[in-house]
Amino acid sequence: MILVTGAAGFIGRNLVRELVYKKQSVLAVDLEELENPAIGGEYLKFIRGDLRNNDTLNEIFNHNIDAVVHLAAFTRVLDSVNRPRDYFVNNVVVTENLLELAVQNKVKKFLFASSNAVAGDVGFSLITAKNSLSPQSPYGATKAASEMMLSAFQYSYGIQTVRLRFTNIYGTDMATKDSFIARLCKATMGNKKIEIYGDGNQVRDYIFLEDVLNAIDTCLSLDVPEIIVVGSGSSISVNELVDEFQNVTKVKLDISYVAAKTGEMKAVIVDNSTLKAIGVGEVTELQAGLEKTWNWFASNFKN
């Protein structure tokens, strides 16, 4: 059985759907209700609970867990600056508790959703799996600290751990996600107004959901390196992204520029050779991914 935490979130619910479709037994856990849990039939069990609660943890490990995909976390960078302790407890303490229980219950593999934020601001330099950890926000620090816990548990107790450093993930079924591409979709369907922080020349890497799910599935199935950078390997400025999106939708947006967020990185440019090395292959090109994302919004999202 595969434990998926954060199972009601953007990645989680799509991963659960993918795993049960492949007839993998899944234990899904989240604070929120899982959308249509009956879809998994006999292959899906759902626990609504708080991972900070010992009763929830004990209920989880009453099941025979073979692997963990730990997606649950607080993820808002600016919010973490205002609530560093909450982020530490929810992100680091919970991860350590899960690792400890995983070892006690002889879980074979532990996959952890990390972030390129662990590397900090390296300007326009390439972010690789070998970057030193230098986070610049409490959120990034919680991911870095959790990564170190995974490393320590692997070498101390023999559990196989994998740190998946995600870039910006986008794709279908992301209406609840507060990301720039999701806001572009909602603005296009609504008042046509979109705000860009700073001058829009900041550079980002965007990876399509299907590629992320493929990476997770591969890591569950095979022996893989400890650190995998899950990104497209092809970065684009925010201004260029907006232009690309308008080309896809054929809708002109009303763009305004506002003050940049404090501490926002100028660039995220990643080397995704570790992703290719595990056999994921070519990732979805941005235009194709935006088309699929927009088509989903146009058919499913209601303002």
Confidence of residue 37 (pLDDT cuts 50, 70, 90): low
Could you say which of 214, 230, 246 is where a domain stops? 230
| Domain total in the chain | 2
Task: Report the CATH number that the domain containing residue 225 is assigned in CATH.
Answer: 3.40.50.720
Report the CATH number at residue 258: 3.90.25.10
The pLDDT of residue 231 is 97
Sheet holding 44-48, edge to edge: 44-48, 26-30, 2-5, 67-70, 109-115, 160-166, 227-230
CA dist list (Å): 45 to 23, 29, 210? 13, 9, 23
Instruction: Give yes or no for residue 23 having a pLDDT over 70.
Output: yes
User: Do residues 130 and 177 both lie within one domain?
Assistant: no
Same domain? 111 vs 225: yes
The domain in which residue 34 lies consists of: 2-168+206-230
Q: Each residue of 187-227: pLDDT tens digit?
A: 999 899 999 999 999 999 999 999 999 999 999 999 999 99
Quick one: angle between helices 238-249 and 286-300, nearest 10? 60
Specify the pTM.
0.94
Residues 21, 153 within the same domain: yes
* 150 and 245 inside one domain: no
Band (300; pLDDT cuts 50, 70, 90): confident
Asked if residue 47 and residue 179 are part of one domain, the reply reads no
Neighbours of 39 (CB within 10 A): 13
Please tell me whether residues 15 and 130 are part of one structural domain.
Answer: yes
- Reported as a pLDDT band with limits 50, 70 and 90, residue 249 is very high
- Do 183 and 255 sit in the same domain of this protein? yes
Give the model's pLDDT for residue 169.
Answer: 97
Does residue 38 carry a pLDDT above 60?
no
- 130 and 212, same domain (yes or no): yes
% of the chain surpassing 70 pLDDT: 97
| Weakest-pLDDT range from 15-24, 33-42, 114-123, 147-156 | 33-42
DSSP string, the chain: -EEEESTTSHHHHHHHHHHHHTT--EEEEESSPPS-GGGGGGGEEEEE--TTSHHHHHHHTTS--SEEEE------HHHHHH-HHHHIIIIIIHHHHHHHHHHHTT--EEEEEEEGGGG---TTSPB-TTPPP---SHHHHHHHHHHHHHHHHHHHH--EEEEEEE-EEE-SS-TT--SHHHHHHHHHHTT-EEEEETTS--EEEEEEHHHHHHHHHHHHHS---SEEEES-S-EEEHHHHHHHHHHHHT---EEEEEPPPTT--SB--B--HHHHHTT--SPPPHHHHHHHHHHHHHHH---
* Position 78 pLDDT exceeds 90: no
Q: Are residues 143 and 265 in the same domain?
A: no
Per-chain mean pLDDT for the chain: 94
Residues 248 and 103 in one domain: no
- Spatial contact of 68 and 98, defined as CB atoms under 8 Å apart: yes
Q: Which of 109-113, 286-290, 296-300 has the lowest mean pLDDT?
A: 296-300
Is the model's pLDDT at 302 over the cut of 80? no
Region of 74 (left: φ > 0; alpha: ψ -120 to 50; beta: rest) is beta
Q: What is the mean pLDDT of residues 9-36?
A: 93
134 and 32 in a common domain: yes
Q: Pairing mode, if any, of strands 254-258 and 109-115?
A: unpaired
Residue 98 sits in the same domain as residue 140: yes
